[in-house]
Amino acid sequence: MNDNDVLILIYSILTLGGLGLVSSVILYFVAQKFKVYEDPLVNEINETLPQANCGGCGYAGCNNFAEACVKSANEHKSISGFFCPVGGNDLMKQVAEILSFTVEDQKPMIAVVRCNGSHTNVPAKSHYEGISKCLFANNLFAGEGACPNGCLGLGDCVVSCAFDAITINTETGLPEVTDACVACGACVKACPRAIIELRPKGPKGKRIYVSCVNTEKGAVAAKNCSVSCIGCQKCFKECPHGAIEMKNNLAYIDGEKCKLCRKCVEVCPKASILEINFAPRKPKVTTVENNC
């Protein structure tokens, strides 16, 4: 190796070393410029969360929820409005304690299927053969019973539930929600007919609701389903608490205002209003006067 070769080798080493040094300096300053600081409280809160990543809290996942809680605590000095439906009130108290706040308990919620169009109540008028998805079938036909608002029974809600809280009853063809429901709302989003709703679970699980979302006029609705709401307004007039409103030929019971008196159930001519987890009604005693 002659002197020129040695010089070329030295220059090459120095050049590469210089480029590496300059690149390192540039990378260092870029990293400092765009460095993201994560509050250690985010990780602490995230570790207390159930890691269900169900989206029921309104955020993409548990870590996003933790970040939002810490951000709200720092900027607004409050975490009011934040709630993890899977962990419930007990978990939110832990989160609040980490952030040195207090939170009020929220009423437990549960998913409710507002359709009673079973195979018995809605006799089939057609037969569906196609992709077994409610979202797909909803764009093709009204349903086997011809109710344009009724449950299609293909189980999109079942698939969406990460907690195995919904099953399809093979006898009725309708989805049923169990107490395993955490009110994450996934089934609500999955139903293309907006039949499933989150409602207050009620004391000891007692709740009353109109199990129908059909907005057709009474005669047409009754033709397709024997237990459809016909918009007669009897429940609306009977309710002493102002918990029932009429809209689009349909009665709706506000779960927050309802006092569970069951008067609306008694006057409904179509048995459209369901009473859940109540003791059986005592039979009315008829008094016969003896005029002898």
Fold for domain 40-98? 3-methyladenine DNA Glycosylase II; Chain A, domain 3 (1.10.15)
SS3 letters for the chain? CCHHHHHHHHHHHHHHHHHHHHHHHHHHHHHHHCCCCCCHHHHHHHHHCCCCCCCCCCCCCHHHHHHHHHHHHHHHCCCCCCCCCCCHHHHHHHHHHHCCCCCCCCCCEEEEECCCCCCCCCCCCCCCCCCCCHHHHCCCCCCCCCCCCCCCCCCHHHHHCCCCCEEECCCCCCEEECCCCCCCCHHHHHCCCCCEEEEECCHHHCEEEECCCCCCCHHHHHHHCCCCCCCCCHHHHHCCCCCEEEECCEEEECCCCCCCCCHHHHHCCCCCEEEECCCCCCCCCCCCCCCC
Domain boundaries, the chain: 40-98, 109-276
Q: In the CATH hierarchy, which top-level class contains the domain 109-276? A: alpha beta
Q: What is the pTM of this model?
A: 0.79
pLDDT at 291: 58
d(CA 122, CA 273): 16
pLDDT at 7: 74
d(CA 218, CA 139): 24
In the Cβ-directed half-sphere of 184, how many Cα atoms lie within 13 Å? Answer: 27
Which one-letter amino acid corresponds to residue 79? I
Walk along the chain (292 residues) in steps of 10 and give the mean pLDDT of each run.
72 82 82 71 95 92 95 92 94 95 92 95 88 91 86 96 96 95 95 96 95 92 93 96 94 96 96 94 65 54
d(CA 133, CA 128): 11
pLDDT at 36: 62
Q: Which of 176, 169, 117, 166 is nearest to 143 (CA)?
A: 117
